[in-house]
Amino acid sequence: MPMEEHNKPIITIRGLTKTYKGGHQALKGIDLDIRQGEILALLGPNGAGKTTLISTICGLVKPTSGTVEVGGFDIVREYRKTRHLIGLVPQELTLGAFDLVSDTVRFSRGLFGMSKSEEKIDEILQDLSLMDKKDAMVNRLSGGMKRRVLIAKALAHEPRVLFLDEPTAGVDVELRKDMWKLVEKLRQSGVTIILTTHYIEEAEEIADRVGVISDGKLLVIDEKVNLMDSLGKKQLMVDLRTPISEIPSQLNEFDVELSADGQRLTYTFDTQSEKTGITKLLQAVSEAGLGLKDLNTSQSSLEDIFVNLVHNEHEH
Amino acid sequence: MNIEAVKAIYFNEMRRTRKTLMQSIASPVISTVLYFVVFGSAIGSRIQSVEGVGYGSFIVPGLIMLSLLTQSISNASFGIFFPKFTGTIYEIMSAPISFFEILVGFVGAAATKSLIIGIIILITASFFVELRIAHPFWMMTFLILTCISFSLFGFIIGLWADNFEKLQLIPLLVITPLVFLGGSFYSVSMLPEFWQKVTLLNPVLYLISGFRWSFFEVSDVSLGASLITILGFLGLCLIIVGVMFKTGYKLKQ
């Protein structure tokens, strides 16, 4: 896909708010552009507004104010066009228990106004490794298989955007990795994927961009790499030859912590600042007469960034 | 109009009926046969005729109406309630389909099923009693209008209900008594004068009366009154459904 095409938003959200009847404000002015062909992970604690956001774009929840455009069409005025572009895989395994796999996928295709195409249904089932379950009853399938059936249903009308609401919730590690491969495969076929997840590991593994939602607000959205670079802190661990009981005065000007066993000094620094202070720190360590055994660095994970963002938001 | 979507809902509902053939078709037919045995043979043998029509034949339109009303309501209410209950409604609500198209799919399927049941009961009845249909056009008109309007009513109940108890409440406590007291098994003229007047307040009486007239040209109220009642009820249901859809009642938050 050409770069400018890739950067073109397929979904544009402006000033989106949603207040439920009881007065709960689930979305508080979301502005967001989702690029064509990307995988966007939306992270957030329970009740942050992730599912409300997805449900609003898909037409399940009426927005209170603001606009959402999908493929350049308004989701309220031109709902037929926008919904045709979207596939939704819900969080819950909501399937007609007594339906056959092929019947339920065929039903989904029809609902979206697509004519019957057994070849297309077979192709989707094949891609999702469901071909051998084509004539099986849904209630006889495992949880992982049911999740695949939900994806098959969402893809039955060949959407350009796929929403996956907590796709790997309650799924074991192996199946989760299978799901990641599947998501990547879908992206390669040109489908834009937006997923909500609790698993930071998931966002870290498969997303191009990460958005963090908390209390109905989009706290941050950026390329996963940029986010980790800009918000991530790096740490330098200095292992000492001989344990010390307290931090020497020469190191007072540095943000240094001493481990309980007195054998490790941990220095936290900002990767974005012009000077990290590592050279000066190592000089000060030498001046203090401390012998070095080893040096290690580590970078904060997306999880640390997420926890910090949400924590800061709650404090404000 | 998203014809494919309407077809998808319609045929999905009809497929559900095929899967539960015993419950959907055999059960109302068996009930009707039992009514014939009890009312037609046991009681009917003591009542020679009602307004010149043999008692066994006289109750046929009432029995068909009884099944039509209960089946139309039950099929349509369950049809929309079950996806709400299981959560699969999300798929319909996120599809490029209007509320009107959803309505046509669900109500169309429920009305078709009721119509099939009505015709099966009519054929079954012909094995027990001698039947003549004086006005086939009006018979079919009443049959179709009743199926559609009560399927619409069932759809409203299915949208309103948020548990199984509510789903059964109106059919059990309102519809069944109205059908039994609406002249299904007797002519209103057989009642004391006071109860005749009270029965005239029962809208189901007008449906049964009009339907019975199309068979035997005997009726408790005029054909015009019957037609106005069924069309009025149809209009009322359409208005309620329209308001429900406009506000997204119990479908959209």
Instruction: Write out pLDDT tens, residues B53-62.
Output: 888 888 889 8
pLDDT at B43: 75
Cβ–Cβ under 8 Å, residues A247 and A310? no
pLDDT at A276: 78
**Contacts B99 to A, Cβ<8 Å:** none
Mutate to test the interface with B, among A27, A106, A111 (most CBs of B within 10 A): A111
Q: Closest CB to B94: pick one of A59, A97, A115.
A: A59
**With an 8 Å Cβ cutoff, are B92 and A115 in contact?**
no
CATH number of A233-299: 3.30.70.100
Mean pLDDT of B129-150: 91
Q: Is B252 inside a domain boundary?
A: no
pLDDT at A279: 87
pLDDT at A115: 83
pLDDT at A6: 56
Residue B102's closest CA among B84, B117, B85? B84
DSSP B1-67: --HHHHHHHHHHHHHHHHHTHIIIIIHHHHHHHHHIIIIIIIIGGG--EETTEEHHHHHHHHHHHHH
Residue spans in chain A of domains classed CATH 3.40.50.300: 3-229
pLDDT at B249: 76
Q: Is B73 inside a domain boundary?
A: yes
Mean pLDDT score of chain B: 87
Mutate to test the interface with A, among B23, B88, B104 (most CBs of A within 10 A): B88
Q: How many whole angstroms separate alpha carbon A41 and alpha carbon A172? A: 20
In Å, how far is B1's CA from the nearest CA of chain A? 9
Q: Is B253 inside a domain boundary?
A: no
pLDDT at A269: 80
pLDDT < 70 positions in chain A: 1-7, 170, 228-232, 271-274, 300-303, 310-316
Mean pLDDT of B31-52: 77
Which residue of chain B comes nearest to A84, CA vs CA?
Answer: B96
Mean pLDDT of B205-230: 90
Residue spans in chain A of domains classed CATH 3.30.70.100: 233-299
| Predicted confidence (pLDDT) at residue B149 exceeds the cutoff of 70 | yes
User: What percent of chain B has pLDDT above 70?
Assistant: 100
Mean pLDDT of B46-52: 77
Q: Closest CB to A108: pick one of B3, B91, B253.
A: B91
Kindly report each contact of residues A262-269 with a partner whose C-beta sits within 8 Å and lies 24 or more positions away, as own/partner.
A263/A239, A263/A293, A264/A237, A264/A238, A264/A239, A264/A240, A265/A237, A265/A238, A265/A240, A266/A235, A266/A236, A266/A237, A266/A238, A267/A235, A267/A236, A267/A237, A267/A238, A268/A233, A268/A234, A268/A235, A269/A233, A269/A234, A269/A235, A269/A236
Residue A291's closest CA among A299, A280, A282? A282
**Contacts A110 to B, Cβ<8 Å:** 4-5, 7-8, 11
Expressed as residue numbers, the domain containing B222 is: 3-247
**Contacts A97 to B, Cβ<8 Å:** 86
Residue B114's closest CA among B14, B211, B216? B14
Domain count within chain B: 1
User: What percent of chain B has pLDDT above 90?
Assistant: 33
CATH class of A3-229: alpha beta
**With an 8 Å Cβ cutoff, are B4 and A108 in contact?**
no
pTM, whole model, 2 decimals? 0.79
Q: Closest CB to B88: pick one of A80, A83, A95.
A: A95
**Main-chain dihedrals φ then ψ at residue A211, nearest 5 degrees:** -115, 140
Q: Closest CB to A113: pick one of B88, B90, B96.
A: B96
